[in-house]
Amino acid sequence: MTLWRKNIMEELEKIIAKFANSGWDLIETISKEWLAAIKENAVNIVIKEKLIKAVEQADNECGSCGCEYDPLYKRALVLLRSE
C-alpha cells in the first residue's frame, strides 16, 4: 500500500468511525459493518456501495444543518470514490 493510499484510508476510517458512533441508524449500522470488514480485510463492492448510498442520503437529509457531520459526509464521499 502506498503512503498516499494509507493516509486516505486512515482519514476515511476516522470519519467512518465517527459515523459508527453517531447514534443515527441511517449511517451507524453500515459504518460499523464497513469498519468490521476493513479490520478483516474483507471490504467488497456491496458494502462500499451501501456505505456510499447511506452517506449520500445522510448528506441530502442533514448535510447543511450546521452540525459537525456536514463536512464529513462530503469528505467521506470523496475518499470512498477515490479508492
Per-residue pLDDT reduced to its tens digit, 22-70: 999 999 999 999 999 999 988 899 999 999 999 999 999 998 999 999 9
Domain count, the chain: 1
60/34 Cα distance (integer angstroms): 21
Give the pLDDT confidence score for residue 59 in this predicted structure.
97
Task: Tell which residue, 46, 45, 56, 44, has the closest CA to residue 19.
Answer: 56
Q: How far is CA 11 from the centre of its chain?
A: 10
The distance in angstroms from the start CA to the end CA of the chain is 12
- Does 75 have pLDDT greater than 80? yes
Give the pLDDT confidence score for residue 74 in this predicted structure.
96
Give the pLDDT confidence score for residue 5 in this predicted structure.
87
Give the pLDDT confidence score for residue 4 in this predicted structure.
84
Domain of residue 65: give its range. Answer: 3-82
Q: What is the dihedral of CA 19, 82, 49, 44, to 10 degrees?
A: -100
The CATH number of the domain holding residue 54 is 1.20.120
